[in-house]
Amino acid sequence: MDESLDMYFASVFRPGSVLLTSGFKGGGKSHTAVAIGERLVKGCYPSVGKVVMVTNMIFFHKVNGQIVEEPPPGVYHITTMMELFPLIVDIIEEHGRDVVILMVLDEAQNFVGGDSNQTNASVMMKEFLGTIRKFRLVVWFLTPSAKGIGPAFRNFLNDPKYPGNLTCKLKKDLAANQRYIEANRLPYKPRELMLIKAYDSEPRFLRVPVTEWTGTLDTLVEGGYCYDHEASATFYVGDGFDWEKFNRTIGGVSSVNVLNTIRSYYAANHPDGVGSGTAPVPKPEMVRRLTQVEIAVNMLNKGMSERDVAEKVGLTRNALRYRIESAGYVRVCQQTSKGVEKCWLLSDNDNRCIQPQTDVASVGGGCLKKGGFSSPIYISRETPENHGIHGSLRTKPVPSKGTSDPSSSGDGDPCRDTSHHPSSDANEHVGDSRRIPDGRYSVDELAEAVHWCIGGGT
């Protein structure tokens, strides 16, 4: 252990501190935060004390050959301010009031915008930073550009013109790193160094190590953890969370009573618990299955075969399909620049498909739109007879060759073959004003959709 670094980190990671890392995308901001956070959590710098990490970054865990979303021990994943405070209560009660809670927020520019950005999140965060010492918090922002966030989040607290909240800055400057390496004849590469400067000390170069948690999904070993290098992190206030009311409630409360005050506030205003107002808390095994499904669907929609995906997540192809469909996904056909492609989309209770924020969105006529509700080409799960529509389009799927899907008896792949060519039905209803249940497609449009699904058009 480097004793000088141990003492330096003890001065940097004190409750109430605010850190900012800026640098070009792919320059190692997240890597640096995860590497340092891992060593802090594992107790490599004892002068800092017990450290627990809270972050909006996603972590993977490999268990019995399967990849699941799960943070490492001593790390908690959150996406809202609403989730934070009950978690703080639990952490302090478990580890005592000397614990340091390191809160790493990636993609900070998305929720604490620039000088003119007075969003709810940025206003809330300004007020929040004034109270973090009370909660044993150290807040660490990561952003590509310091100018992309307001002065309250990018300026040192002793700035002579516009004082902010920062106590420490970290920056990846490859040119400066190269000069430092050459001047000191060090056997390092410029990407390995990070310039760190506290508000009350001279800057110094820090060599960022490669640690277990900084690996990639492809190199993840059994039982290991790594962070998601590609996911876009998010953070917001939280639906139904009244920050102003909460801040007034805990204001003026002594440090010895603040935990009970937080507990009382949530009991009165969120009696069903955080995030559980509409559904019970799922069992851990169900959470594992859902995250497994999300990972599998993402890989399938990126072009991987079912066989490869099933092998990667440790399931049979039949079990994989069953879990995907049980989670509410339906298979649809969509027109892209490459032609007609099949993909899995999440459907709501009305059989509308919700397009995820991915690069799968197609281009051209009839394409799916990014975000929100979309109108993909698919057949309703309801039987035509229930809605007075005369047609013989089958709703029962044709199983894949050589497979027997345990969940395909009732619902099916909407991009399936049909018992006869759809044009025969379409011709019977030319000019017919009747529409399918949700009223979005005419019979002609429906016939064209089926025609696309069986590969009859370009």
Round to whole Å and give the CA distance between 370 and 380: 22
* pLDDT: which is higher, 400 or 141: 141
Q: What is the pTM of this model?
A: 0.61
Q: Which domain holds residue 246?
A: 3-269
Phi-psi region of 218 (alpha: psi -120 to 50; beta: other; left: phi over 0): alpha
Query: Mean pLDDT across the stretch 362-391?
Result: 36
For residue 79, give the CATH number of its domain. Answer: 3.40.50
Give a yes or no: residue 176 inside a domain: yes
Task: Give the strand order in the sheet containing 339-347.
Answer: 329-336, 339-347, 353-354
Overall size of the chain counted in residues: 458
Same-domain check for residues 343 and 249: no
Q: At 138, is the secondary structure helix, strand, or coil?
A: strand
* pLDDT: which is higher, 408 or 250: 250
Round to whole Å and give the CA distance between 296 and 284: 18
| Domain boundary, last residue among 269, 288, 318 | 269
| Domain boundary, last residue among 243, 269, 295 | 269
Q: How far is CA 44 from the centre of its chain?
A: 28
Give residue-wise pLDDT tens across range 33-72.
999 999 999 999 999 999 999 999 999 999 888 889 899 9
The total domain count for the chain is 2
Round to whole Å and give the CA distance between 345 and 332: 7
Give a yes or no: residue 282 inside a domain: no
Give residue-wise pLDDT tens across range 296-334.
888 888 888 888 888 777 777 877 888 888 888 888 776
Does residue 123 surpass a pLDDT of 60?
yes
Give a yes or no: residue 304 inside a domain: no
Average model confidence (pLDDT) across the chain: 75
